[in-house]
Structure 1
Amino acid sequence: MAILRAILGFTNASLIVMTVILMLLFLYLSLVCQLARVVNVLENIYGFNALKKGKDLANGNKLVGMEIAFVLYGFLVGLILVYLLFVEYGYEVLIWVLIWRVMMGILCGVIFFLVLLLVFIVTQTVVYLVCKSYHREAIDKVGLSTFLSAYMAETIVYPRSGEEIQLVCPQPPSNQEN
């Protein structure tokens, strides 16, 4: 920021330009990290490889993904502002005002945890699937269905015949009888 400020000068316009540049950079990085998070879960790719895959998936849909991230973060900032205005910095002159603050705090918490976090997760997954289809990459629907149904307790994954569940690697069962 200091280099940009020195190049552009010390005016309000340079501050606005730097804010826009940093906001676009933040939105792009959040898009790549959100895609990497979904890649990490659905494709079992971890670390920098997941970030690289997320960056590759974002190519071609950067603007749409950044717009979606902007809207989601806008809702988050709005919720934080409502919390700060009505709960954190409200005055306690009457008991009704205190009850109002408690109710607004509970409402903001419920909206944040139940709605906003779930909307973030679903939106990240939809953006991932749209980016995969944009690049014409195959989506393993059977594997995805099996993976998701295991969380819904619909499918029980058993080891193959002759294997025991171990922490390190599968071992054939021993033939010793006690």
Structure 2
Amino acid sequence: MDKEQEEMQFIGLFDIIKESYKIIISCRKIFSQITLTLILPLAFIFQAYQEISNYMLEEIDHTDTEKFFEHPGTKRYTNLSNTLSYEWIKFWLFTIAYFTILFILSLLSTAAIVYTIASVYTGRELTFKKVMSIVPKVWLRLMITFTYMLSAFMVYLILYLCVLIISLKVLHGSAFVGFLNVFLVIYVMGFVYMTGIWQLASVVSVLESADGITAMTKSMGLIKGNRWVAISISFVLNMSFVYIQLSFQSLVVEEGLLEAWKRFGFGVLCFLLLLTLFLFGLVIQTILYLVCKSYHHENIDKGDLSNHLESYLRDYEPLIGKEVQLEEYRV
């Protein structure tokens, strides 16, 4: 990495993106191996789910429409009801399998990228085999952090729905529409902020002996002072993901809008963009962690961080109860 830790506190959004690009290019071999092994399947199942689930829902809609025009109690009505139940079960089983695989690949990709950048930062010898060997060892901490963050998102969504239902009963007409627009903006801003905390907490879970609420609390503390940079990064990543997925849905999944070869071309383009976004997103959130550490003058001792990374290759972890950063440096 080109910059020393003391200098990293001064870099902004575009500098973080630039630094991420530099580190990917400088270590393109290891990042290419991680991408092909973990991130490529992750991007593939994202798009495959859209295509397959759309087809399954069309089948369900077709069966439901046929059932609507049949008289209850007839043999065909009963057969269509059984078929519809089977199709719904098949759809939900497929969805559960999709989210399970997505969850596993997301955590593995996060662990691999964060470990790789930390190894580059400390100047450790790095091989793809070594990276893949430590990935399962940070699985538990990342899973705990993910579970807590998912719970926080669920609570946030429930609160949003409760306020929405109450406002629907209290407000009417233009007053409700105005409130809904303002409240939607507030909800999106809160969602983006929480996503930023989640991304940083994932890095904390790998590079420090922390998980769950502890990692979330540390993440919130690190974001202070760089809140707008963190929110901007989270917003750009989320909006890019939404735009790519909507483009894929409208140009590729929905049939009849484009010729087959054009749909295939747009599908490949969206896939490559999604692949790039996942890789850059994981690298960017790790660089942001280093920037936030630098901003708060929390010196990351490269020797202790190196020992912490080395502990993943052993059967013990020497830094339990001790953070990676040891001292504050003075500017």
Same fold (TM over 0.5): yes
Q: Following the alignment from structure 2 to structure 1, what is the Cα–Cα distance between the partners of residues 307 and 247?
A: 40
Q: Following the alignment from structure 2 to structure 1, what is the Cα–Cα distance between the partners of residues 255 and 302?
A: 50
1:65 paired residue among 230, 236, 241: 230
- Give the number of equivalent residue pairs: 149
Matching residue's letter, 1:42: L
User: What secondary structure sits across from 1:138 in the alignment?
Assistant: strand
Q: Following the alignment from structure 2 to structure 1, what is the Cα–Cα distance between the partners of residues 307 and 248?
A: 40
User: What secondary structure sits across from 2:300 in the alignment?
Assistant: coil
Structure 1 pair 112/146, CA: closer, same or farther in 2 (3 Å)?
farther
User: What secondary structure sits across from 1:79 in the alignment?
Assistant: helix
1:138 paired residue among 299, 304, 309: 299
Instruction: State the 1:30 CA deviation.
Output: 0.6
For the aligned residue pairs, the C-alpha RMSD in angstroms reads 2.6
2:211 paired residue among 30, 46, 50: 46
Instruction: State the 1:111 CA deviation.
Output: 2.1
Q: Which residue does 2:260 correspond to in 1?
A: 98
Matching residue's letter, 1:58: I
User: What secondary structure sits across from 1:90 in the alignment?
Assistant: coil
Are 2:168 and 1:3 aligned? no
Matching residue's letter, 1:106: V
Q: Which residue does 1:111 correspond to in 2?
A: 273
Instruction: State the 1:86 CA deviation.
Output: 1.0
The question of whether the paired residues in 2 share the 8 Å contact of 1:31 and 1:65 is answered with: yes
Post-superposition CA distance 1:78-97 (Å, at most 9, x none):
1112101210113178xxx1
> Can you give the 5+ residue segments of structure 1 that lack an aligned partner in the other structure?
151-156, 158-164, 168-178
Instruction: State the 1:116 CA deviation.
Output: 0.6
Matching residue's letter, 1:137: E
Q: Which residue does 1:75 correspond to in 2?
A: 240
The question of whether the paired residues in 2 share the 8 Å contact of 1:35 and 1:124 is answered with: yes
Matching residue's letter, 2:263: R
1:128 paired residue among 274, 289, 308: 289
Post-superposition CA distance 1:16-60 (Å, at most 9, x none):
111011111101111111110000111131222111111111122
Matching residue's letter, 2:163: I
**When the two structures are superposed, what TM-score results if normalisation uses the length of structure 1?**
0.72
The question of whether the paired residues in 1 share the 8 Å contact of 2:251 and 2:257 is answered with: no
**When the two structures are superposed, what TM-score results if normalisation uses the length of structure 2?**
0.41
Structure 1 pair 100/144, CA: closer, same or farther in 2 (3 Å)?
farther
Q: Following the alignment from structure 2 to structure 1, what is the Cα–Cα distance between the partners of residues 274 and 298?
A: 34
The structure with higher relative contact order (CA 8 Å, sep 6+) is 2
Q: Following the alignment from structure 2 to structure 1, what is the Cα–Cα distance between the partners of residues 257 and 196?
A: 41
The question of whether the paired residues in 2 share the 8 Å contact of 1:92 and 1:98 is answered with: no
Matching residue's letter, 1:6: S
